Structure formats: structure tokens, C-alpha cells
Amino acid sequence: MRDFTCFGENGVQIADAASSSSSASISTTSNGKNGQNLVTCVYQCRLRNFSCLIVTINWTKSLMGQGLTVQIDDSANQCLCKVEIKPWLFSKKRGFKNVEVGSKLFDIYWDLANAKFGLSPEPVEGFYFGIVVNQDLVLVLGDMEKEMMRKMDVSSFSPNVVFVSKREHIFGKKVYSTRAQFCGKGQVHDVLIECDLAGTNDPCLLIRVDGKTMMQVKHLRWKFRGNYTILVDGLPVEVYWDVHNWLFGKLMGEAIFLFQTCLSAEKMWASTTSRSILDQSWSSSARRDSHSQGLGFSLVLCAWKNE
């Protein structure tokens, strides 16, 4: 367990998400009502000819139900195609769509008819989603791969996929939770953030992974921004936090947490400015092939207070 007793020079300040110019960024309203219905996942997919595609999937939720938007970019960050799927319409809960761009034919398959959801708009089981490029299967998600393969005309090429980043909005009063997989096909972990701001002049921030306290920040009013390294699955994970809005901002202001594997804090601080380190690290890892290889996986959590 880490106990932070002083606020170092490596404080982190978060750029406003709504002001970010990256197409991968998520804009939120002042009360977070848009943010709570969105999870963004970014995957790097390598093709048979060793070129790369970046696939960005936005899982959304509204009063009408769940939906998703898929954007496929090349390694130069040029959008090749973008498809919006609205599975709350009965005829769209399962389906197929193809898009031809130059010499590439993109086939997109999905079945969300029996999908099960938790608190997040991202399904947890009972679904499949796949992308085929020129008859090569490059991305498959969900636990119904066999059902999907029966519907596809694909070659024997096996997907070569790196899960680059995930950005999620979470809500709570004192406790905020999500699940995350920090490396490849590693274990899925329960991540819990605890912070009780009511009735105390000296709030404390706790971060637990699978019930084990990994980090404790005391005297939070003095250390509302910072970073430290924890170990998950034997790998170093750099944790950055900014809870300024919880303490000094609007009542429904968000706190930002970044869990970053592979790259050390020193390298991150050498490569960018403190003003936008979290947004820049997330968008860079999501949009650039060479950068994503070095940065590993990024989990960005926007934690909103429910009063």
C-alpha cells in the first residue's frame, strides 16, 4: 500500500475534455449527463501485409437503449470509414454492413440481441462484434465467436490485435468502480476508487485492485494532483489523479484518473507538458501506431459525483 505524505513536483493537471482537439476525445456537459452514457475503446489491428488500422468503438446508452459507433483509421490517422449502429431498433440488434474504401472492403458484423450489460453501456456477455478486411478477420469482440464465424466468409488469418486504451465515465458518491484488463489476455481486475469528502476537513483517496489497497493519498486538499506507480500482474502501472474539481470546483465536477502501463512517469513528463498530459497520452496512444506500441495500455476514468 502506498501512503503519500508529500506532494511532489510531478503534479498533474488535466486539460478540459471538451476543449481537446483529438477526434478520440469525449466531450461532456457541465453536469456529466452525456458522459455517463459513453465508453470509448481503441484497438490497434495489424493486417496480413503488416500495415495497421486503428479501430475506435464508442459504446453509448440512451433512453432508447444501447448503441455504438465504429471508426476505422489508418496508421496516418486518416479516417477510412465510420459506421453508426443503433441496435435499439429491433432490426438492428444483429446485422452486417460492408463499406468499400479504395482497395479495402470492410465487413462489420454484430449481434447484440441477447447482450447483457452492467452499469456500463459496454456489453459484458451474450454478444459478438467483428471486423473483416478483404476477407481477413482483424477484430473480434464478445463471447459468441463461434456463432459469428458461421456467418462470415473469412480466410484463416488470425487477428493480431492490441487493446490500446479505454476511456470510461463512472458515477458514485463515495465509491467508483470499473473493471479493467491491463495487459493482453491477462486477468480482468476490479478497480475501486474511494473518496469520502463529506464531513471531513482532511479527505483521503484510496485505490483498490481486486479488494487490495494499492494506493492511499492523505491530506488530499494539498495533494489533489499527483502520480505514483503500482504493480498489477507484476507489471508497473503508473497512476495519475486530478481531483481538483471534487474539492474546489462545481458540485458535479469530475475527477480524472489515468492508469498507464509500460511508460515511466519521467518519460511521459519529458515528452509532453503538464497541462495536458493525461489527454495527450490517451489520444496519442489511441491514434498513433508507433506511440501505442511504446505506451502500452491506458485506462482513463472520468469520475463524476452523484449528489
| Phi and psi at residue 47, to the nearest 5° | -90, 175
Looking at residue 32, what is its pLDDT?
Answer: 44
State the burial class of residue 23 (Cβ atoms within 10 Å of its Cβ: 0-12, 13-18, 19+): middle
Question: Domain-by-domain residue ranges, the chain?
Answer: 2-21+168-305, 49-156
CA distance 211 to 196: 17
List per-residue pLDDT tens for the chain, 307 residues long.
Answer: 544 333 333 333 333 333 333 333 333 333 444 445 789 999 999 988 888 999 999 998 877 777 899 999 998 889 999 999 876 665 578 888 999 998 899 999 999 888 898 878 899 899 999 999 998 899 999 999 888 888 877 776 678 898 999 999 998 889 999 988 887 667 889 999 999 887 678 889 999 999 999 999 999 989 999 999 999 988 899 999 999 998 887 666 789 999 998 654 444 444 443 334 444 444 444 444 333 344 578 999 999 987 6
pTM (two decimals): 0.77
Looking at residue 243, what is its pLDDT?
Answer: 93
Contact 92, 85 (CB under 8 A): yes
CA distance 145 to 143: 6
Helix (H) or strand (E) segment spanning residue 214? strand 212-217
Taking CA atoms, 232 is separated from 167, 194, 261, 264, in Å, by 19, 18, 9, 15
Looking at residue 251, what is its pLDDT?
Answer: 62
Which of the 8 DSSP states describes residue 299?
E
Looking at residue 40, what is its pLDDT?
Answer: 95
